[in-house]
Chain A
Amino acid sequence: MTSSTQAHHGGSLLSKHHILERNPILLVIGILIMVAIGGLVEIVPLFYLKSTIEAVEGMRPYTPLELAGRNIYVREGCYLCHSQMIRSLRDEVERYGHFSLAAESMYDHPFQWGSKRNGPDIARVGGKYTDSWHVAHLTNPRSVVPQSIMPSYGFLFETPLDTRALVANVATNREVGVPYTDDQMANVMNDLKAQVNPDTPEAAALIKRYPKAVVRKFYPGSPEVTEGDAVIAYLQMLGTLVDFKQFDDKANLR
């Protein structure tokens, strides 16, 4: 053996890598340990840092109609062009409103942050436009925004809302951690109808169960509850639950 070969297989720790290199099982275990450290450091803290798990006043589960609208939002792939995530950057805050909080998507399964903005962010679109604007815009986007490239969703207003799976959907949400109460669970179908029938005792009961719920016939053009009603109910609620006049930006930085 020459002297250089001896150095190559010598006693220092760094030169022991050939033990790992020549033993696939050991190499895999080594890789797993490294990835696990990365995961522990980057993912685990998100479950206990205050700024990511802060409880924010005003958040409540979706009403049945909003949940149905949200399902249609997901079904139609709205998230492919619209984000629901106002980043903590000055220009975004000035255009869209207060930056999004983690708590604002706490009842989203799955969340709709999106990753692309062909259209604007709609995390706080609730109340920005009127129902009739939403009807016109969803039916023919270019009738109100000439430069829009959004497709037409006019069929939503001709399609009665399919509610067969809604009770099970609410139950599933509860299963994965959304705190629907027994009272809310028992009244899913009542609340669905109540949200498009303002000034009724049922509507008052709905608002009691779901504070800040917007109750009105969102699409007056059809006596039935259409998919369009559900989508607009969802849109009109987005970003309206947390009262930012009450929210302390600096309370939970850690």
Chain B
Amino acid sequence: MSEPVQLDKVSGQTTTGHEWDGIRELNTPLPRWWLWVFYACIAFSFVYWIFYPAWPTTSSFTSGVLGQTNRTAALADIAAAQAVRAQMAAGLEKASLAQIAGDPKLLELALAQGKAAFGDNCSPCHGSGGQGQKGYPNLTAGRWLWGGTLDQIQATITHGIRAPNDADTHASAMPSFGKDGILKPEEIRQVANYVRTIDGVEPEQGVDVAAGKKIFLDNCAACHGEDGKGNIEMGSANLTTKVWQYGNDISDLIYTITYARNSVMPAWGQRLDPETIKSLAVYVHSLGGGR
């Protein structure tokens, strides 16, 4: 098992003195540098215990001289970033939307901030350029359900559309003319064709467009106007702009009239701060459709 330490002739090293069935072990110590790094790590851990949270106690833990916690660190980081931004955005907070739009410096800031917020919050529905897609309005087309001025855009972003958790949300409901039995399928086809004609699209052959017009005036004009130009007070669509949120194929229109779409937009006032919403309003207004 053990025997005297010997000098190994081949390697020139000594043995450890361990011996098993004639097999001996060379005494090869750890490299010095490695050993010192190891000791340094042990020494560092003592320093760490002094400065940072380390050891549990019966009801708490040793908080360390620096008193660091992940929460306070994050809160401090956020506060520092907000302080930097507050300097830049002091103008945004006080200025009206019109003033922001008129001041090149504020406008640049609002557009940059608005673009970032838009990418995260708005682009999943409205597209990265605000171009919209089927079911989600195009923000660049100048066609606005609830108004395209800076203030109207700000109100829409803040309170949303038919948002269930905001009392001031834009709310109006188009009836489900087919589902609720207000119009018969044939009548829906007629009025859908009439709607296409006021937008400058050829109606289907063999459909009584004149009857469609009468149905439109009786059922639709109250909200969409006799000329079909809509009304932003109640969010009714302008049917004459060639821009269609849900498409203007005859099948799309029949579906819209039968079931009504009544789309929903979240109330962003619940998630974003007022300055971000101001920036978003200015940014969305700048996309090409603002009034």
Contact = CB atoms under 8 A, between A and B. Distances in A.
A190 interface: no
A44 B60 CA distance: 11
Interface string B72-88: 11110110010000000
A126 to B, nearest CB: 10
Contact of B120 (A41, A95, A133): A95
A88 B270 contact: no
Given A4-B5, A45-B61, A254-B63, A130 B73 contact: no
A93 B17 contact: no
Contact of A129 (B17, B69, B125): B125
Contacts, number: 87
A44 B77 CA distance: 30
A130 B63 contact: no
A208 interface: no
Interface centre among A94, A127, A136, A254 (most CB of B within 10 A): A127
Interface in A1-19: 1-2, 4-5, 8-9
A91 to B, nearest CB: 9
Contacts of B5: 2, 4-5
B69 A253 contact: yes
Given A45-B56, A49-B56, A130-B265, 14 more contacts: A4-B5, A5-B4, A41-B55, A49-B61, A90-B77, A93-B74, A99-B71, A127-B270, A129-B266, A133-B124, A143-B133, A250-B71, A253-B69, A254-B60
A145 interface: yes
A129 B163 CA distance: 11
Contact of B2 (A5, A44, A95, A99): A5
Contacts of B266: 127-130
Interface of B: 2-5, 17, 55-56, 59-61, 63, 69-75, 77-78, 81, 120-121, 124-125, 133, 135-136, 164-165, 263-266, 270-271
Contacts of B135: 132, 136
Interface of A: 1-2, 4-5, 8-9, 41, 44-45, 48-51, 88-90, 93-95, 97, 99, 127-133, 136-137, 143-145, 214, 216, 249-250, 253-254
A52 B238 CA distance: 55
Pick the 6 closest A-B CB pairs, nearest first.
Answer: A88-B74, A45-B56, A90-B77, A130-B264, A88-B70, A2-B4
A51 B71 contact: yes
Contact of B59 (A41, A48, A249): A48
A188 B75 CA distance: 40
A133 B74 CA distance: 32
B74 A89 contact: yes
Contacts of B125: 129-130, 133, 144
9 contacts: A4-B5, A89-B74, A94-B81, A99-B74, A128-B121, A128-B271, A130-B263, A130-B265, A253-B71
